[in-house]
Amino acid sequence: MNNPQISKMFSEIADMLEILNENPFRIRSYRKAAMTLETLPHEIRDLDESKWTDIPGIGKDLEAKIKEYLSTGRMKAHEELMQKIPPELLDMIQIPGLGPKTVKKLWDELGIKTTAELEKAGKEHLIQNLKGLGQKIEEKILKGIELRRKYKERHGLGKTVPLAHELVGLLQKKTDVLKIDIAGSLRRSRETSADIDLLAASKNPGKVMEEFVNLPFVQEILAHGETKSSILTKQGIQCDLRVVEEESYGAALHYFTGSKEHNIRIRQLAQDRGLKVNEYGVFKGEKKIAGGAEEEIFAAVGLPYIPPELREDRGEIEAGLSGNLPHLIEHSDIRGDCHIHTLWSDGSQPLEVMVEAARKRYQYAAISDHSKMMGITGGMDAETLLRQVKEIRNLAKKYPDFMLLCGIEVDIKADGTLDMPDKALKELDLAVASVHLKFNMSEEEMTSRIITAMENPYVTIIGHPTGRLIGYREPYQVNMEKLLDAAKRTGTFMELNSFWDRLDLNDVHLRMAKEKGVKIMIDTDSHNTSHFEMLKYGVSTARRGWIEARDVVNTLLPEKFLKAIKAKRELRKA
């Protein structure tokens, strides 16, 4: 996989240019290209080179650098910049809340070049004495170091899932595996994983292992055995592969999928029936009675098949025994997307390009560009919004078989009012209201802030309701119980933002919303056409939250969906 490596290089170039106070335009171009490559659904090396410059953010200059990397494994521009700054500064930039400019200031004024030096300076209160920083920034940096330490050895779904599928595909092509699956926490769709677990069945495990440790993106062989091997990939992610006999494959897949707590419950049920369950099968005394398929393991202990996403010992055993397992939502159930950005704000592609891509996936979509409050997004004021509405309405006439709607992602101000007047919001079909600034409010203040926004009849959806960025920013303090009660009372939908570093609402909050009867909107927050691929992460997170199609408003057919999003305005008017 080259896309993540090129993306990382471009991102590092942007960071180094910013540290060196270079041209802001160049910095933005590298960041834009890095983001695009990180989420590109296909390897750029597999695309027609003549089409590379059609990819958002990839111009002639960056195209040349990509070609250089693919042909040589190096990038001269990156290497030259690395000679100008201490390389440890790039690691410091990964600390949440610590940007290139602050890193440069710390380097220039305190000589800090490493995270260890930074932490020491923070604990000795040297940072707060620097002009422009202060005590709050110092505390934020120390918290960021802890957060970075917490997540450093874990990887988000956007990094592990594409790599895992590529590994599976290569092993299927290069070896004589009879079966192969992703296992572990990744199969359960946990939002982060320490490594990738793969399970295969083969009559020639030694050959499979030999091919595995010699795959093209192996950086280091950590272990190499007859039935189990471990590698460290060039992306810095460990991958473990086990090979078992086909007759034990189902038992092994269940065992190595986990979770540990779920497996303990299954073993307890087996013991109650005089059986033993392990990674080799189900045994009655010395006789093996099941093990070839996962369904056999569950049936042996009196359970229906339990989907991997539910296997956390959060009530799935009891639900299975009583016949009350949910019929989990599927990717194909989603009919629309209501959180899409274009060049009208911080999206990287024109309106019509985004609409054309949405039409290939959905039956309806809403364009929801930013309001102006968060200046970095290049958002819209009321006058600009109304011009966009006119353009969207005209474009909609071109697609009689597709329902194109007008929306906005409007900022929720600190007092709960919105960054757009009601007279402008009234012209839209829906509004996604989100918090993007002033995260450090108390739980009571933040909860009141969002509930006040919900009271507005033109707010349809609360976007990424806890504001978290996995591995980078912790959720702001909010009382989710009160938030969901208010959503139910006001008829407001809660978003499950599918971007892999958000997944907000999370699985626990989704389960809570389901129990309260609050409807969910699964959106992608797409800023270019490749981001529509993020939907799979939202759906897998919804499944972890026991969400069914009936719990999600954008599983409705277009006419019923339109009625649902208009219902709140009528409810609030009454």
* pTM of structure: 0.85
What pLDDT, on a 0 to 100 scale, did the predictor assign at position 573? 59
What pLDDT, on a 0 to 100 scale, did the predictor assign at position 419? 95
Tens digits of residue pLDDT in 239-298: 999 999 999 999 999 999 999 999 999 999 999 999 999 999 999 999 999 999 999 999
DSSP 281-327: EEEETTEEEE-SSHHHHHHHTT-----GGGTTTSSHHHHHHTT----
Instruction: Give the three-class secondary structure for 458.
Output: coil
Per-residue pLDDT of the chain (574 residues; tens, 9 = 90+): 577 788 888 989 999 998 888 888 888 889 888 888 877 767 788 877 777 777 777 888 888 898 899 888 889 999 999 999 888 888 888 887 788 888 888 988 999 888 889 999 989 999 988 888 888 888 888 988 888 777 777 899 998 999 999 999 999 988 789 999 999 999 999 999 999 999 999 999 999 999 999 998 898 999 999 999 999 998 889 999 999 999 999 999 999 999 999 999 999 999 999 999 999 999 999 999 999 999 999 999 999 999 999 999 999 999 999 999 999 999 999 999 999 999 999 888 899 999 999 999 999 999 999 999 877 777 999 999 999 999 999 999 999 999 999 999 999 999 999 999 999 999 999 999 999 999 989 999 999 999 999 999 999 999 999 999 998 888 999 999 999 999 999 999 999 999 999 999 999 999 999 999 999 999 999 998 989 999 999 999 999 999 999 999 999 999 999 999 999 887 755 5
Q: How many CB atoms lie within 10 A of CB 83?
A: 7
**Where does 120-208 show beta strands of DSSP type E?**
155-156, 179-183, 192-193, 195-201
What pLDDT, on a 0 to 100 scale, did the predictor assign at position 321? 97
State how far the Cα of 553 lies from the Cα of 493, in Å rounded to an integer: 8
Topology of the domain comprising 344-573:
TIM Barrel (3.20.20)
CATH class entry, domain 249-320: alpha beta
What pLDDT, on a 0 to 100 scale, did the predictor assign at position 3? 79
**Where does 430-475 show beta strands of DSSP type E?**
432-434, 461-462
Q: Assign domain 3-151 to its CATH architecture.
A: Orthogonal Bundle (1.10)
Q: How many CB atoms lie within 10 A of CB 527?
A: 23
| Contacts of 66-71 spanning 24+ positions with Cβ under 8 A | 66/6, 69/2, 69/5, 69/6, 69/9, 70/2, 70/44, 70/45
What pLDDT, on a 0 to 100 scale, did the predictor assign at position 360? 96
Give the burial class of 252: count Cβ atoms within 10 A of its Cβ; 0-12 exposed, 13-18 middle, 19 or more buried. Answer: buried
Domains 3-151 and 155-244 share a fold: no
Dihedrals phi, psi of 23, to nearest 5 degrees: -55, 120
What pLDDT, on a 0 to 100 scale, did the predictor assign at position 95? 83
What pLDDT, on a 0 to 100 scale, did the predictor assign at position 489? 95
Structure tokens at 100: 């290139």
- 172-202 burial, b at 16+ Cβ within 10 Å, e below that, comes to eeebebeebbbbbbbbbbbbbbebbbbbbbb
Structure tokens at 72: 């040589």
β pairing state of 281-284 and 276-278 = antiparallel
User: Of the candidates 12, 13, 9, which has an alpha carbon nearest to the alpha carbon of residue 44?
Assistant: 9
User: Of the candidates 458, 478, 460, which has an alpha carbon nearest to the alpha carbon of residue 468?
Assistant: 478
Tens digits of residue pLDDT in 9-30: 898 999 999 888 888 888 888 9
Instruction: Give one word for 369, left, alpha or beta, with left for phi > 0 and alpha for psi -120 to 50.
Output: beta
- 485-499 burial, b at 16+ Cβ within 10 Å, e below that, comes to ebbeebbbbbbbbbb
Q: Hey, where are the domains in the chain?
A: 3-151, 155-244, 249-320, 344-573
- C-alpha dist (Å) from residue 529 to 56, 403, 405, 477, 512: 9, 18, 17, 33, 32
What pLDDT, on a 0 to 100 scale, did the predictor assign at position 45? 81
At 366, which helix (H) or strand (E)?
strand 364-367
State how far the Cα of 201 lies from the Cα of 223, in Å rounded to an integer: 19
State how far the Cα of 252 lies from the Cα of 26, in Å rounded to an integer: 51
Give the burial class of 424: count Cβ atoms within 10 A of its Cβ; 0-12 exposed, 13-18 middle, 19 or more buried. Answer: buried
State how far the Cα of 277 lies from the Cα of 283, in Å rounded to an integer: 6
β pairing state of 179-183 and 195-201 = antiparallel
State how far the Cα of 261 lies from the Cα of 249, in Å rounded to an integer: 21
Q: Assign domain 155-244 to its CATH architecture.
A: 2-Layer Sandwich (3.30)
State how far the Cα of 538 lies from the Cα of 413, in Å rounded to an integer: 27
What pLDDT, on a 0 to 100 scale, did the predictor assign at position 41? 65
